[in-house]
Amino acid sequence: MRAAGNPGVKEFLAGRRSLLRRTPIVRGWVVRPVDREDFEEPRRYVPGLVLSVDGHFHRLDSELRGWGQRDFPRYVHTASPEPVDPPLDDRLQAELATALTARGVGV
């Protein structure tokens, strides 16, 4: 992906802003989006997965914001500041292949 110019890279806030420092950012691709249902029963929340440009996986979380506002619902996505171990399942392999083909990079 780096040779192709990192197509489709997104930036996610990672952690809290500390005094006199910028908020850490994770740059990468969404491999597995967050799966959530907030308005119907049963409610569910399954975090997603981000593959950073440096090759590490990070947990992708989303927060529902905008209660009582005109732009409700608004989801704010953040990534974990520390890398996580990738899930060891066949689903991840298929999702990585889909991410590559969606960005126009052949597998």
| pLDDT at residue 103, rounded to an integer | 66
pTM of the complete model: 0.76
- pLDDT, tens digit (0-9, with 9 covering 90-100), for 32-42: 889 988 888 88
Is residue 93 classed exposed, middle or buried when 0-12, 13-18 and 19+ CB atoms within 10 A define those classes?
A: exposed
Q: How far is CA 30 from CA 58, 72, 89, in A?
A: 10, 23, 17
- What is the average pLDDT across 87-106? 76
The SS3 call for residue 99 is helix
- Paired tokens of 28: 């990468």
| pLDDT at residue 18, rounded to an integer | 66
| Domain range annotation of the chain | 10-96
